[in-house]
């Protein structure tokens, strides 16, 4: 299957820039929802089309996508930069990676849906581990500043174990992992009190892996890693280690 790695950027024309706030609102939940819809405009060719692309927002405001079809060019965007994505990998190859992901585990709830299916829930691994850390209100004033580094340390520990399990299933071995950031966001569309609002966590990590099963690894790349793929997670960027 041919894949395409594309850089997509909003047009710099005055008419499109006037709408920029609609495409990238300040509220992060609304922003990710708007960006997802924006990217659908170049990949969705009918009401029955299922999403077959991964995406992530870059620091410069552009988007990177990995897709089974090249994006359609429209007046909303600068000319897309598109190239075939078909890396030739062998067992033992070492790759540097970047990955923005929502790391979860799935648990059975013991319930059954109206359709007779077993109910399950997805647990954010970092968020779950953070429950063991005292909250800011529980810490003395001079110790509150310690929570942020502890949060990142815990995210590092959880991410390394999660990525290692991903590799065992999908053809790679983790050599190094570094978490640059962990943040939580409210699910788009939530209205109501802050307490109890549905959230998901986003890990930004980099690392180095060794390919153990090239065919399995390459087959997994277009499927993405972790959940929240509609919100810009799951796309693993790879390059050969120097």
CATH number at residue 40: 3.30.70.1200
d(CA 166, CA 162): 6
Indicate whether 15 and 127 sit together in one domain: no
- Residues 100 and 55 grouped into a single domain: no
230-to-39, 53, 90, 169, 192 alpha-carbon distances in Å: 10, 9, 31, 22, 22
Domain boundary among 85, 104, 125: 85
Give the per-residue pLDDT at 24. Answer: 76
CA-to-CA separations, 215 to 167, 223, 230, in angstroms, rounded: 13, 14, 25
Low-confidence ranges of the chain (pLDDT < 70): 1, 46-47, 133-148, 187-198
Residues 65 and 125 in one domain: no
Judgement on whether residues 65 and 175 belong to the same structural domain of the protein: no
Q: What token pair was written down for 202?
A: 């986003």
Domain extent for 120: 94-240
Number of domains in the chain: 2
pTM of the model: 0.84
């Amino acid at each position: 299957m041919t894949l395409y790695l594309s850089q997509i950027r909003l047009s710099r024309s005055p008419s499109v820039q006037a709408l920029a706030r609609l495409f990238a609102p300040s509220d992060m939940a609304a922003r990710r929802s708007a960006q997802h819809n924006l990217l659908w405009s170049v990949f969705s060719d009918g009401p029955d089309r299922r999403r077959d692309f991964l995406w992530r927002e870059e620091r410069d405001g552009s988007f990177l996508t990995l897709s089974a079809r090249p994006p359609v060019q429209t007046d909303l965007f600068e000319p897309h930069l598109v190239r075939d994505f078909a890396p030739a990998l062998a067992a033992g190859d070492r790759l540097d990676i970047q990955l923005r992901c929502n790391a979860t585990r799935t648990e059975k709830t013991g319930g059954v849906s109206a359709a007779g299916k077993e109910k399950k829930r997805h647990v954010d691994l970092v968020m779950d581990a953070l429950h063991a850390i005292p909250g800011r209100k529980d810490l003395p004033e001079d110790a509150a500043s310690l929570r942020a580094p502890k949060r990142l340390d815990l995210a590092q520990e959880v991410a390394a174990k999660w990525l290692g399990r991903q590799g065992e299933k999908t053809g790679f071995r983790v050599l190094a992992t570094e978490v640059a950031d962990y943040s939580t966001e409210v699910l788009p569309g939530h209205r109501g009190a802050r307490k109890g609002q549905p959230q998901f966590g986003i890990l930004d990590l980099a690392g180095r892996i060794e390919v153990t099963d090239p065919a399995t690894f390459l087959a997994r790349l277009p499927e993405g890693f972790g959940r929240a793929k509609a919100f810009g997670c799951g796309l693993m960027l790879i390059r050969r280690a120097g």
